[in-house]
Amino acid sequence: MRRSLLLFAVLLLAARPAAAKLEPAEWTAAEQTFKQLFAHPGEAEGKVAALEAVAKDGETRAWRLLAEGTIQEAGHQAKTGEQLSKSIVELSALLGKKSSEMYPADRENMYRLQGEVSDLEVARAASEAVLGKLVLTFASATEEARRQLLSLTRGHKDWTVRAMGARVAATFPDETAAKAVLAEALGASQDPRVKSIALDALQKATGSGWQDLVVARIEDPDWGVQVLAARIAGERQIGKAIPVLIKALVKASPRVTEEVGKALRTLTGQSIEAYPEPWAKWWEANRSKWGEDGRPLQPVSGAPKQSDIDFYGLKVKSDKVLFVIDISGSMKAEKKAPTPTEPPRRGATTGDDPKAPEPPPQKFSGPKIEIAKQELRRAVKALPKAATFNIIAFNHGVQQWQPKMLEATEANKEQAYAWIRDMAPAGSTYIDGALRLGFKMAGMGAYDKAYPGVAVDTIILLSDGAPTDNAFPESKDMDPKEILAHVREWNPQKRIVIHCVGIDNVVQGIEFMKKLAAENGGTYVDG
């Protein structure tokens, strides 16, 4: 028996790869190259090769060096993000100018800033590739190696470094050091950007010890964090989240309500609409089936905030909506309005219809721009006072109604109606610039200081053509893949939904808008 155990141990050791410790000269060369590269931003390919060379050493010194490099690279990415945000602010101011107000120097500066922004976006994406490789490297290392990194990132003054710690911790969330880092990253008072990145990293995490941290964030003060937590609860079938999701419905915004309702339906298989009282009744009658997760729910009442927007028959739930409207020259053309279909009858629960049926949408016909104006005016008119909204119009330039989101008061609506009335079609179709300005208004990507408390949760884009650039006076076609890549950068966790309405769109425009909506949790409709 003892001999058998000894033979098993020998075979086990033979199966495990030995630490590839580098010779002194090899280590010195790898260390020097690594330090030189990671001391500065850029050179992503060289950094990846350098970190792979250091990781081959497999010794404590290697993991310490990799941990220090991780902190340096996170700092570089943060600085790049800050520079990008600053350049986008300057660019957005120029994008928002009318062509008649643009001096040659303004146009030249705009093109310069577009190139600068593009270069910074490429640099940030390259830095993210290096950080992603570092996460994978630590994920394949020993627990002790990860502990070295986590000890340096925990409580760090820079949020980007704390976020990297959370990403590494999420690879083995049940380890002691990882639990502490994740608990800190998902604490109630933590920066929402860190919480969002930690949640994103946990979407495919193993084990279950981290689930309570996710459930606690369903009632987070930041609506975007709530959206991510509810999404994970549904996708990962976290049963203990059900009573918390139901409770969250009482005060949820329309965007959060939509995500919470989806999570509840995924978890339970029920088709109950997102109202707290019917869900609470169902839970009380069925919670015993969920074992120890079937916790009692305190009495709930009321209904979540409702802000249903009807735009070209598109049903949207949002109280932070941004309309992005095409006013290119082709919008002058005539189009007969489609015959609307009557929406299904709807109630609080399946089979229960206490509400009167909604009237069918009003029919419009005429020039495409005039139909768009009437649809837009009708959508704005229906917004409740508590909602916020804004409008961006675009052709080869980009115009914004207001520099920030405004409450849907009657006075603000009247101002919006006047602005809508004066929309005049001309020029080409610079969708990329319109969306860029829209995301600037929302909080550009996860590295913007304005990202916590994002001002926009839904974008509705209307266009009748394939995208172009903003070269003046003759624009050129723009590759839709480039715009989609930009939006992935601006909307990293898909917190902001993008719905698209296509009017008489050419094939390229239709396919682009369908993909844009699909990649950002939205719906595409023909207008």
Cα–Cα distance between 44 and 132 in angstroms, integer?
11
CA proximity to 159, closest of 117, 191, 128: 191
Q: Which residues contact 45 (CB under 8 A, 6 or more apart)?
A: none
Q: Which two tokens stand for residue 36?
A: 């030189």
- pLDDT score for 348: 42
- pLDDT score for 302: 64
295 CB neighbour count, 10 Å cutoff:
13
Cα–Cα distance between 508 and 395 in angstroms, integer?
17
Tell me the pTM: 0.84
- pLDDT score for 16: 36
Residue 465 φ then ψ, to 5°: -155, 170
Q: Which residues contact 125 (CB under 8 A, 6 or more apart)?
A: 489
Please answer whether residues 452 and 493 qualify as being in contact, where contact means their C-beta atoms are separated by less than 8 angstroms: no
- pLDDT score for 17: 39
Q: Look-up: residue for tokens 């309405």?
A: 501
Torsion angle of the four alpha carbons 196, 197, 200, 204, in this order, in degrees rounded to the nearest 10: -140
Cα–Cα distance between 271 and 264 in angstroms, integer?
9
Q: Which residues contact 275 (CB under 8 A, 6 or more apart)?
A: 249, 303, 304, 348, 349
Q: What is the DSSP annotation of 399-460?
A: EESSSS-EE--HHHHHHHHHHHHT----S---HHHHHHHHHHHH--STTSTT-TT-S-SEEE
- pLDDT score for 245: 96
**Long-range contacts of 276-284, Cβ-Cβ distance < 8 Å, separation of 24 or more:** 276/246, 276/247, 276/249, 276/250, 276/300, 276/301, 276/302, 276/303, 276/304, 277/301, 277/302, 277/303, 277/348, 278/348, 278/349, 278/352, 279/246, 279/249, 280/246, 283/242, 283/243, 283/246
Give CA separation, 502 vs 219, 430, 460, 523, in Å: 36, 15, 11, 11
Cα–Cα distance between 374 and 305 in angstroms, integer?
26
Specify the 3-state DSSP secondary structure of 257: helix
Per-residue pLDDT tens listing for the chain (527 residues): 333 333 323 333 333 334 458 899 999 999 999 999 999 999 999 999 999 999 999 999 999 999 999 999 999 999 998 898 889 888 888 887 777 788 889 989 999 999 999 999 999 999 999 999 999 999 999 999 999 999 999 999 999 999 999 999 999 999 999 999 999 999 998 999 999 999 999 999 999 999 999 999 999 999 999 999 999 999 999 999 999 999 999 999 999 999 999 999 999 999 999 999 999 999 999 999 888 888 888 777 666 666 678 899 998 889 999 999 999 999 998 875 555 544 444 444 443 444 444 554 555 567 999 999 999 999 999 998 889 999 999 998 899 999 889 999 999 999 999 999 999 999 899 999 999 989 888 875 444 554 445 789 999 999 998 899 888 777 899 999 999 999 998 898 888 999 999 987 776 778 999 999 999 999 999 88
Torsion angle of the four alpha carbons 112, 441, 329, 118, in this order, in degrees rounded to the nearest 10: 30
Q: Which residues contact 399 (CB under 8 A, 6 or more apart)?
A: 96, 98, 392, 393
